[in-house]
Amino acid sequence: MKLHLKACFLILLSFSTFVLGTPSNDKSPTIKEFFLASPYAHFTMHQNGRFIAYSESSSDKYEIKVHDVINNTSYVVYTAKRFEVETIKKEYYVRWVNHDNKIQDIVWLGNSVLALKETSKNSFRRFIVVKLNIEDNSVSQKKVSFLNQNGYWANPVVSSNRYAMFAKYKNDD
């Protein structure tokens, strides 16, 4: 419990440095605005402590950003529409599904891989796996993959960027 509180404190401290360190002519929120009605959620710190991944929602889209604590810079690494219509074509019919996409969780799977758990209408939709290109002064999206199986990442903080252990839920879970 104490370790969890310390981690939350470090994340908030790092992020308050991010918010306080930005110029006032920027559209960055004030501390009061940040905590009152924050569009920011799902903070997760990289294992080396340099990067914080988080989601930022608006009325029509959500963005996944990675904040570099050392350079005090945020980078958009993934953007998606909140509302979209998916066409599902089967052999005998076609149907359309309306999605209200939201990010439920963000997990670092390695030094440069993020897994995003996307939900639609409060139920699991898919995992989005974003491979990042991390350099000294920039973070960008390298590759995006999708996993449509519901489950969880077992022991996600690993030193490898090629392998991750995934456990799927049973039908009765």
pLDDT digits (tens, 9 = 90+) for 55-86: 988 878 889 999 998 888 899 999 887 776 77
Name the nearest CA neighbour of 67 among 56, 51, 81: 51
What is the model's pLDDT at position 22?
Answer: 44
What are residue 22's phi and psi, to 5 degrees?
Answer: -85, 150
What is the model's pLDDT at position 66?
Answer: 92
Q: Which band of pLDDT confidence, cut at 50, 70 and 90, is reported for residue 27?
A: low
Whole-angstrom distance, CA of residue 42 vs CA of residue 56: 9
Pair 105, 151: CB distance under 8 Å:
no
Q: What is the pLDDT of residues 109-144, one digit of tens each?
A: 888 899 999 888 888 888 999 999 888 888 888 889
pTM more than 0.75: no
